[in-house]
A and B are shown apart, each in its own frame.
Chain A
Amino acid sequence: DAGVIQSPRHEVTEMGQEVTLRCKPISGHDYLFWYRQTMMRGLELLIYFNNNVPIDDSGMPEDRFSAKMPNASFSTLKIQPSEPRDSAVYFCASSLVAAGQGRTGELFFGEGSRLTVL
């Protein structure tokens, strides 16, 4: 398997523009996660899906952020309008094993999308 695939790898845009990040999870994985990583705050969970259904979006910063998963092999994270404080690396990750009997499976990360908002 090719692993989790993200695009674009790098995005430079101007404040106020719309940004769309894309993710293809590992085939067969039923959990998909979007994380944001900055030096100051580390890895923050934005939202995660189970079987294409959003389960927890409490980490989404504000209404400017939205995420969709129209099918098992594709997800998008959209920022509209973008702001300089959104500059970060956005990771998509997928997981096969759900939490059960107190145990959770491994997260497999994509290579990330580095976003710079000027």
Chain B
Amino acid sequence: QKEVEQNSGPLSVPEGAIASLNCTYSDRGSQSFFWYRQYSGKSPELIMSIYSNGDKEDGRFTAQLNKASQYVSLLIRDSQPSDSATYLCAVNPLYTGNQFYFGTGTSLTVIP
């Protein structure tokens, strides 16, 4: 079992819709969770970090964490064509120092 799993997609949504991206992780003791966005041919850039159960909102982005179920999700409201990218979920398991495990990413396309 991989440390972090994501639906690879591709996921297509119309402009203005809500895009929902999901991620599950295997280490129950994980404490730090991140969503990165990666445009084609570019490097990953941080979108959201979340550490506590519940929702965290930042503009059009909302991260949701449920440690009991071991999943973390990212909602993108009012999706824009510029949101078209691959979204990577990253987890820092407990007692691994500063090691991050990344999922393979979900490709999102927002259709104008």
Contact = CB atoms under 8 A, between A and B. Distances in A.
Interface in B5-63: 31-32, 34, 42-46, 49, 51
A99 B90 CA distance: 14
A43 B51 CA distance: 22
Interface range on chain B (Cβ under 8 Å from partner): 20 to 34
B89 to A, nearest CB: 10
Interface stretch (A14-22, A48-56, A63-71, A80-88): A48-56
Contacts of A91: 43-44
Contacts of A33: 100
Contacts, number: 64
A101 B44 CA distance: 25
A45 to B, nearest CB: 6
Contact of A55 (B92, B98, B101, B104): B98
Q: Which of B51, B96, B97, B101 is packed against the most chain A CB atoms within 10 Å? A: B97
B94 A109 contact: no
B98 A98 contact: yes
B88 A43 contact: yes
A50 B97 CA distance: 10
